[in-house]
Amino acid sequence: METATLSAQLAAIVGAHHVHAADRLADRDTGFHPENFDAGLAVYPATTGQVAQVVALCARHRIPIVTHGGLTGLSGGAASQTGNVILGLRRMDALLELDPLAGTVVVEAGAILETVERAANEHGLSIGIDLGARGTATIGGMIATNAGGMEAFRNGSMRSRLLGIEAVTPNGAVLNDLTEVPKCNEGYDLKHLFCGAEGTLGIVTRAVLRLTPATAPTTTLLIAVDSAASALTITRACASAPAIDLLQTEIMWRNYATTVAAEIGLSHVLNFCDAPAYLLIELSATDPDAALDTLFTDPAVEAVTLNAVIAKNEKERAEIWRIREESFIVDNTVPHCQWYDISVPLSRIDGTITAIDSRLNALDPTLGIWVMGHLGDGNLHYTIGNGKPQSPERQTAEKRASLAKHSDPEKLRLMRAIKAAFDPDGIMNPGKVL
């Protein structure tokens, strides 16, 4: 179909103002992938009904659809190409219902994480999931990527927060599975198929999420350690101390911490110790001083702690967190870096770090490696680069190739069968995941 005809038909569904052609998209911030707006045609529906009509129109003409949330995804899942239609959820950002007694919230998929969290906080509750991209990432995008983040070790990833879902399937039908209860055994649990599917099975339009009591931290610590194993020893001691509620346990290796701290003018924060790694612990305790005494007089903790600082005020706390969170500043020192997100069993973190270091070094000794991550669940964020531009398709292609290479053949067969059952014409985010 001619682009002009398609645009006119899309405009008839959502209104001409909400169909953006290439000229309007040219100035848009592309987010974390340069090809996010390459389709040159984007449509912004306001309701599930409009999403369904857009999808039905595209399905009739076999036009591929790429869904856009906040564009904070780091793996190229939202990248598009000429001939695709981008379907953006930014107009569908309402918080529809928050039930403090049940501890649930119903939102539209374009709702921003931080907005939902603030609304929950007003009731002493929390969505129980947090990411550096909190101000931009959408609930739909977080479901589609099964986002983890800083609290996943306590509350699980997005999959664990999800009670119910509404989605538009690739033929333009609306799947209504907005259950609000944890136990719902109506056959196969379809909502979980949308978690981590990166928009390849359909478009999430609404979600019911479970909330958890919000706990404010009383103490923030930066502890110098020699390895992830040492950091885990301290984490375990915190987690098993009855008087301590462990809220955060993040790890940064030296190259990452020193590079980011220098770049944002906070090198003094690390002056207390030059260490192979830094453990950021945040905890809540009714008697914080007693809790710290218990922790640091534990012989196992004493043995692995090289040194530690405690944030004395909110400014110092914020400085520690800035070093952990301003990861993308690495790109200022070495441009064109690539970001990777890997999960490693806890007992194998040190070995994996050493193995990756030596393999990358053998591959190209000019590559810089910056590593930090969520220690509690072994989810590590790798930044790798040597200043040379990389092909934008490389990361997506690498992800697909490694899924095909490392996944169990039967798992792959079932995944392909699921994709074919949902999307026989392959119009939903083609070329992604499988």
Ligand X SMILES: Cc1cc2nc3c(=O)[nH]c(=O)nc-3n(C[C@H](O)[C@H](O)[C@H](O)COP(=O)(O)OP(=O)(O)OC[C@H]3O[C@@H](n4cnc5c(N)ncnc54)[C@H](O)[C@@H]3O)c2cc1C
Q: Which residues contact 140 (CB under 8 A, 6 or more apart)?
A: 67, 69, 89, 109, 110, 203, 204, 205, 207
Q: Would you say 281 and 248 are in contact if contact means Cβ atoms under 8 Å apart?
A: yes
Told to check if 89 binds ligand X by CB under 6 A, we report yes
Taking CB under 6 A as the criterion, the residue among 142, 275, 304, 311 binding ligand X is: 142
Candidate list 54, 63, 71, 208; residue touching ligand X; CB under 6 A: 71
When the beta carbons of 7 and 67 are compared against ligand X, the nearer one is 67
Other residues' Cβ atoms within 10 Å of the Cβ of residue 169: 18
Helix axes 48-60, 3-14, angle to 10 degrees: 160
The mark string for 202-241 relative to ligand X (x by CB under 6 A, - otherwise) is -xx-------------------------------------
Q: What is residue 291's three-state secondary structure? A: helix
CA dihedral 285, 287, 292, 297 (to 10 degrees): -120
3-state class (DSSP) for residue 205: strand
Q: Are 103 and 211 in contact (CB under 8 A)?
A: yes
Binding window for ligand X (CB under 6 A); candidates: 72-80, 277-285, 293-301, 346-354: 72-80
- Minimum distance between the CB of residue 141 and ligand X, rounded to whole angstroms? 2
Alpha-carbon distance 335 to 309, whole Å? 32
Binding letters toward ligand X, positions 90-129, x by CB under 6 A: -------------------x--------------------
- Nearer to ligand X by C-beta: 137 or 175? 137
Binding-site member from 144, 246, 257, 371 for ligand X (CB under 6 A)? 144
Q: Smallest distance from the beta carbon of 313 to ligand X, in angstroms?
A: 25
69 part of the interface to ligand X, by CB under 6 A: yes
Rounded-to-integer distance, Cα 57 and Cα 9, Å:
8
Q: Distance between CA atoms of 198 and 78, rounded to whole angstroms?
A: 8
Q: Site residues for ligand X, window 290-309 (CB under 6 A)?
A: none
CB closer to ligand X, 74 vs 371: 74
70 near ligand X, judged by CB under 6 A: yes
* Residue 52 touching ligand X (CB under 6 A): no
Site for ligand X in 169-208 (CB under 6 A): 198-199, 203-204
Chain CA centroid to CA 417, Å = 26
d(Cα 261, Cα 267) in Å, to the nearest integer? 5
Q: Are 129 and 151 a contacting pair, CB within 8 Å? A: yes
Per CB under 6 A, contacts with ligand X among 394-433 are 429, 432
Q: Applying CB under 6 A, does 133 fall inside the site for ligand X?
A: yes
Q: Stretches 65-73, 225-233, 273-281, 307-315: which one binds ligand X (CB under 6 A)? A: 65-73
> What is the largest distance, in Å, between two alpha-carbon atoms of the chain?
73
Please state at what angle helix 314-325 crosses helix 254-263, rounded to 10 degrees: 110
The residue with its CB nearest to ligand X is: 141
Residues near ligand X (CB under 6 A), total: 32
Tokens of 400: 């697909």
The smaller minimum CB distance to ligand X, of residues 164 and 199, is found at 199
Give the span between the Cα atoms of 293 and 297, in whole angstroms.
6
Out of 40, 45, 64, 77, the only residue in the binding site for ligand X (CB under 6 A) is 77
Under the rule (CB under 6 A), what is the footprint of ligand X?
Answer: 66-74, 77-78, 89, 109, 131-133, 137-138, 140-142, 144-145, 147-149, 198-199, 203-204, 429, 432
